[in-house]
Amino acid sequence: MALFIRQNDNRSQLQEKLAAELQERAKQKAQKADLPDGVTDSAYIKDTKQTTSLAWLWILIILSVLGLVLWLVIATTGK
């Protein structure tokens, strides 16, 4: 344990300067990484529409078509 503590005492000025610069860069990056506030950053949904009440019908049609295609593939390969 004493050897480990002595290693910290033997740091050169260059090592201390580099460590300080890296810490400063990390602080600057942390400050720049602001989370979106949800008000001014919501421009991407400006021209979108809300899902209608007929969405379930489209899902049902798509599932029916996929089921029909699957049935046709199974029925034709079985012979």
Residue type, 47: D
Mean pLDDT for each consecutive 10-residue tract of the chain (79 residues)?
A: 56 84 86 63 78 90 97 87
The DSSP letter of residue 78 is -
The pTM (predicted TM-score) of the whole model is: 0.40
Question: How confident is the model at residue 8, as a pLDDT?
Answer: 56
Q: Which residue has the tokens 């021209």?
A: 47
Closest CA to 57 of 49, 65, 45, 69: 65
Confidence (pLDDT) at 58: 93
pLDDT of residue 45: 77
**Interior angle at CA 36, CA 35 and CA 42, nearest 5:** 170
